[in-house]
């Protein structure tokens, strides 16, 4: 065990820091759940990609730097410290990207990954349907193979950023007689294909952060199938693994929230201490964010040495989503009567972005497989309890 | 950056686990409760034979010369079996303190600890009572800012019974004075090691309680099926698994900080102690619940582990002590918090 960064790792950190200091936007971009903000974030992705910082773990020929997971964590630390923009294409680069590298053909990788990397093609996910939420195996939207095309009919919902995205990846039932996990196929669909209707759904903050997608005889080339026909479940499980895993929710994000929370507490200590539970909650936030970081580093080091992530990765999603909720709840308590005020309200001095974060934190325990479903998985697969 | 244990460390853990699980069964622990001292000279001799009593004793003095980092996984295993013998106390507290004090005292006692001939225990002001004072050949007792080295005849003992029958606790009244150390830093390091020992054992205890509860709920049937198939029962256990999973790395980080004498050692240890003991307390709470009335009996083994977990949570610094240390750290104006600072000290 050696908990020092190597010289190479320190140099890498310095390089990230220097580039971000020179290139990260000085002012926060608009929300990517607006048309203008979406474009701003797309442009930012292009800039990151030009600097070869779009996806540092990708191979060099795809514009990456072939970084290992420790370098990835370092990159994320500097990225969050620099308050650089959220990643509008995260469903592409963090979820579909790694899945493509595992299951995609050479042709697919060459066609899809470069445009994903430079923000030219932004991706949304299409798993959920009105009657297939937690029970994803109940998917009914169907794709029928006719010649070299799939004809898709049905509906997807809750598809994040689909309002302005260019593509959607998801699962469709290709065998009409199949049930549950069988007969599903993973297909990539350009959202400008005739027959597709995207209907925005306003989220808690009022902005259309996700959408319903209706498919009416939508024709998609068979070249857009990822993995074999009927093998969609296995491919999707890989994607879901990346979503729950450390790619999407690196510790830096929560450590920065914890740091801001300590600052908020310090600035408001006199009033905050009127509620004795707040001090403990701040402490808790710091400790849990550190625990999350330490555990992630330990996992990353194990993977670097050839280890695999096991069922214990289901604990990850519960831990970060509940930590995020708790930290924002604490911030709301510290802000007291100001907590409900929108940031632009005239008397909302010092509320920062906590309310936005609080709203978004409500969704963490729901998306990417609800925390109840994760608890079922932990009990059955990690602890071996009876089904 | 390599946050993993070596093959050797993991193999050592495995062999010690095999030994302990075979030798320190719940039946043996119950037997020890009936014995006069609650301690087994035979088991201690076996532990010495395996090199464990002297694991942290310098090689020159007859030990294995290993560090807190080498020992932490073994301390987890001691927790897993709820080992009544003071092995964690010896390896993490008494031996390093004697080593820090050095000189004649260390030269005299460390070889005897390694060979299993002598038992040495430590009582700091932070401890209400002294563990295992009744079988000690030497007590290192803090009074004020000083550590005194006292041998039988130089102290009186008053026994205090613990909820955990395996714990032997004594109020120690010194009848002689023999100052061997007045170094605050040494005393703080000693306290940190004691707290680290509790944290590591708490991980093992929590794991053991989970294992017992998973086994029990898989076998016990109600409503025509195993109670472990009910979601409410599963979620009780999953909640423990989550907390336990995230308490491990902090304990290992603390062991590294202690072994390498890092500036952050106190904060790291306090963090580890709080989260590991909370995980063990949650394990106790949820595991007794899923056992139903069986869990509330003397007969079922769960309480062996549950009671030790409760005791460890408040010894070598209670939660208030450790939380305050972290609080002082995070509220200090010059503490760098946030991303990228976790390993920078
Ligand atoms: C912000 C946000 C973004 C999202 N983005 C996407 C996206 O991009 N693409 C996409 O496909 N989907 C997306 N989703 C949808 C998300 O995956 C689903 O909401 C989630 O899987 C839960 O499904 P549901 O909403 O139908 O809830 P339900 O499945 O109806 O669940 C409702 C409640 O019942 C509980 N429940 C259900 N089944 C069980 C069970 N077996 N055991 C215990 N409890 C159970 C749940 O835990 C939950 O508490 C998003 C959701 C949110 C909130």
Q: Is A367 near ligand 1, meaning CB less than 6 Å away?
A: yes
Does the pLDDT at position A40 exceed 80? Answer: yes
Out of A200, A230, A260, a domain closes at: A230
- pLDDT tier at A1 (50, 70, 90 boundaries)? very high
For residue B150, the model assigns a pLDDT of 98
Q: The CATH number of the domain where A221 resides is what?
A: 2.40.110.10
Residues forming a β-bridge with A88: none
Gap from A318 CA to chain B (nearest CA, Å): 8
| Structural domains of chain B, count | 1
Asked if residue A264 and residue A159 are part of one domain, the reply reads no
Q: Is A364 near ligand 1, meaning CB less than 6 Å away?
A: no
Average pLDDT estimate for A24-40? 97
Instruction: Tell me, yes or no, if A266 comes closer than 8 A to chain B by beta carbon.
Output: yes
Owning domain of residue A80? 7-88
CA angle at A216 for the pair A215 and A220, rounded to the nearest 5°? 70
Distance of CA A329 to the CA centre of its chain: 21
- pLDDT tier at A238 (50, 70, 90 boundaries)? confident
- pLDDT tier at A246 (50, 70, 90 boundaries)? low
Average pLDDT estimate for A111-138? 96
3 state SS for B242-306: HHHHHHHHHHHHHHHHHHCCCCCHHHHHHHHHHHHHHHHHHHHHHHHHHHHHHHHCCCCCHHHHH
Q: Write the residue with the smallest CA distance to atom 48 of ligand 1.
A: A370
Residue with tokens 């869990």, as numbered in its chain: B295
**B-chain residue closest to A2, CA distance:** B2
Q: Is A75 near ligand 1, meaning CB less than 6 Å away?
A: no
Asked if residue A264 and residue A375 are part of one domain, the reply reads yes
Q: Write the residue with the smallest CA distance to atom 30 of ligand 1.
A: A133
Residue B289 lies in a domain: yes
Ligand 1 centre and the CA of A366: distance in Å? 5
Gap from A106 CA to chain B (nearest CA, Å): 34
Per-residue model confidence as pLDDT tens digits over A260-317: 999 999 999 999 999 999 999 999 999 999 999 999 999 999 988 988 877 778 899 9
Q: Is A372 near ligand 1, meaning CB less than 6 Å away?
A: yes
Instruction: Tell me, yes or no, if A283 comes closer than 8 A to chain B by beta carbon.
Output: yes
Instruction: Tell me, yes or no, if B325 comes closer than 8 A to chain A by beta carbon.
Output: no
Asked if residue A272 and residue A308 are part of one domain, the reply reads yes
Q: Can you give the pTM of this predicted structure? A: 0.97
Asked if residue A135 and residue A75 are part of one domain, the reply reads no
Q: How far is residue B65's CA from residue A158's CA, in Å, rounded to a whole number? A: 59
Does the pLDDT at position A245 exceed 80? Answer: no
Out of A68, A88, A108, a domain closes at: A88
Poorest-pLDDT segment among A21-30, A243-252, B27-36, B78-87: A243-252
For residue B329, the model assigns a pLDDT of 96
First to last CA, chain B: 13
Residue B313 lies in a domain: yes
Gap from B164 CA to chain A (nearest CA, Å): 27
Average pLDDT estimate for A105-118? 95
Owning domain of residue B304? 185-341
Ligand 1 centre and the CA of A367: distance in Å? 6
Does the pLDDT at position A244 exceed 60? Answer: no
Residue B179 lies in a domain: no
Token pair in block for residue A231: 């093998």
Q: What residues of chain B lie within 8 A of the CB of A262, using their CB?
A: 330-331, 337
Per-residue model confidence as pLDDT tens digits over A44-68: 999 999 999 999 999 998 889 999 9
Instruction: Tell me, yes or no, if A82 comes closer than 8 A to chain B by beta carbon.
Output: no
For residue A248, the model assigns a pLDDT of 63
Does the pLDDT at position A243 exceed 60? Answer: no
Residue B65 lies in a domain: no
Poorest-pLDDT segment among A10-24, A94-108, B152-166: A94-108
Out of A35, A62, A88, a domain closes at: A88
Instruction: Tell me, yes or no, if B89 comes closer than 8 A to chain A by beta carbon.
Output: no
Residues ≥6 apart with Cβ < 8 Å to B36? none
Can you list the residues of chain B whose pLDDT is less than 50? none
| Structural domains of chain A, count | 3
Contact B6 A1 (CB under 8 A): yes
Q: How far is residue B103's CA from residue A61's CA, in Å, rounded to a whole number? A: 62
Residue B290 lies in a domain: yes
Asked if residue A255 and residue A226 are part of one domain, the reply reads no
Contact A291 B249 (CB under 8 A): yes
Residue A111 lies in a domain: no
Per-residue model confidence as pLDDT tens digits over B84-138: 999 999 999 999 999 999 999 999 999 999 999 999 999 999 999 999 999 999 9
Q: What residues of chain A lie within 8 A of the CB of B275, using their CB?
A: 287, 291
Q: Is A336 near ligand 1, meaning CB less than 6 Å away?
A: no
Ligand 1 centre and the CA of B206: distance in Å? 31
Instruction: Tell me, yes or no, if A68 comes closer than 8 A to chain B by beta carbon.
Output: no
Q: Is A125 near ligand 1, meaning CB less than 6 Å away?
A: yes
- Strand, coil or helix: what is A212? strand
Does the pLDDT at position A242 exceed 80? Answer: no
**Max intra-chain CA distance, chain A:** 71
Asked if residue A226 and residue A162 are part of one domain, the reply reads yes
Q: The CATH number of the domain where A38 resides is what?
A: 1.10.540.10
How crowded is residue B10: how many other Cβ atoms within 10 Å of its Cβ?
A: 11
Q: What residues of chain B lie within 8 A of the CB of A16, using their CB?
A: none
């Amino acid at each position: 065990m050696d908990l020092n960064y190597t010289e190479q790792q320190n140099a890498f950190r310095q390089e990230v820091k220097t580039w971000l200091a020179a290139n990260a936007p000085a002012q926060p971009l608009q929300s990517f759940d607006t048309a203008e903000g979406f474009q701003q974030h797309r442009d930012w992705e292009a800039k990151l990609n030009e600097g070869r910082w779009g996806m540092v773990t990708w191979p060099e020929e795809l514009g990456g730097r072939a970084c290992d997971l420790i370098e990835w964590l370092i990159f994320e630390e500097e990225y969050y410290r620099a308050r650089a923009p959220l990643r509008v294409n995260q469903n592409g680069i963090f979820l579909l990207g790694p899945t493509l590298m595992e299951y995609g053909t050479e042709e697919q990788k060459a066609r899809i990954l470069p445009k994903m990397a430079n923000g030219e093609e932004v991706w949304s996910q299409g798993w959920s349907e009105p009657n297939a939420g937690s029970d994803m195996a109940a998917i009914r939207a169907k794709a029928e193979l006719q010649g070299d095309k799939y004809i898709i009919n049905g509906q997807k919902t809750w598809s994040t950023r689909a309002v302005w995205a260019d593509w959607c990846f998801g699962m469709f039932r290709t065998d009409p007689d199949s049930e549950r996990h069988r007969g599903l196929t993973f297909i990539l669909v350009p959202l400008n294909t005739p027959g597709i209707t995207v209907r925005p759904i306003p989220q808690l903050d009022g902005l259309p952060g996700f959408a319903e997608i209706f498919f009416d005889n939508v024709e998609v080339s068979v070249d857009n199938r990822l993995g074999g026909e009927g093998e969609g479940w296995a491919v999707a499980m890989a994607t879901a693994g990346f979503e729950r895993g450390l790619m999407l929710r690196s510790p830096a994000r929560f450590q920065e929230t914890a740091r801001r929370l300590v600052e908020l507490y310090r600035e408001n200590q006199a009033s905050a201490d009127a509620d004795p539970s707040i001090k403990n909650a701040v402490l808790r936030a710091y400790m849990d964010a550190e625990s999350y970081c330490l555990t992630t580093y330990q996992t990353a080091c194990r993977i670097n040495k050839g280890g695999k992530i096991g069922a214990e990765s289901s604990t990850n999603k519960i831990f970060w989503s509940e930590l995020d909720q708790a930290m924002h709840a604490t911030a709301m308590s510290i802000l007291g009567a100001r907590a409900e005020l929108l940031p632009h309200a005239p008397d909302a001095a010092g509320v920062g972005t906590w309310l936005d974060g609080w709203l978004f934190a409500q969704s963490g325990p729901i998306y990417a497989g609800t925390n109840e479903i994760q608890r079922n998985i932990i009990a059955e697969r990690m602890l071996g309890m009876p089904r | 950056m390599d946050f993993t244990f070596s093959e050797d460390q993991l193999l050592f853990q495995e062999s010690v686990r095999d030994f302990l699980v075979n030798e320190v069964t719940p039946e043996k622990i119950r037997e020890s409760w009936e014995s006069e001292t609650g301690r087994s000279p035979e088991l201690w001799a076996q532990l010495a034979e395996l090199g464990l009593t002297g694991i942290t004793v310098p090689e020159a003095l007859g030990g294995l010369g290993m560090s807190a980092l080498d020992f932490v996984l073994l301390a987890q295993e001691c927790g897993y079996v709820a080992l009544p013998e003071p092995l964690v106390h010896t390896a993490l507290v008494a031996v390093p303190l004697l080593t820090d004090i050095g000189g004649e005292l260390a030269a005299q006692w460390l070889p005897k600890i390694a060979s299993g001939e002598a038992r040495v225990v430590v009582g700091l002001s932070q401890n209400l009572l002294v563990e295992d004072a009744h079988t000690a050949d030497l007590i290192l007792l803090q009074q004020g800012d000083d550590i005194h080295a006292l041998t039988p005849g130089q102290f009186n003992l008053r026994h205090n019974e613990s909820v955990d029958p395996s714990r032997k606790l004594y109020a120690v009244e010194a009848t002689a004075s023999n100052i061997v150390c007045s170094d605050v830093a040494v005393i703080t390091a000693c306290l940190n090691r004691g707290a680290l020992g509790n944290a590591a054992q708490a991980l093992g205890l929590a794991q053991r309680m989970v294992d017992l509860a998973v086994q029990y709920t898989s076998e016990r049937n109600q409503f025509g099926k195993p109670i472990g198939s009910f979601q409410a029962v599963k979620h009780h256990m999953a909640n423990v698994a989550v907390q336990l999973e995230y308490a491990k790395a902090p304990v290992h980080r603390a062991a590294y900080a202690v072994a390498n004498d890092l500036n952050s050692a106190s904060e790291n240890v306090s963090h580890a102690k709080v989260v590991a003991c909370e995980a063990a307390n949650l394990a106790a709470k949820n595991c007794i619940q899923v056992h139903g009335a069986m869990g509330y009996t003397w007969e079922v083994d769960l309480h062996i582990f549950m009671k030790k977990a409760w005791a460890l949570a408040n010894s070598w610094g209670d939660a208030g002590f450790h939380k305050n240390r972290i609080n002082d750290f995070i509220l200090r104006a010059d503490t760098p918090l946030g991303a990228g600072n976790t390993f920078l000290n």
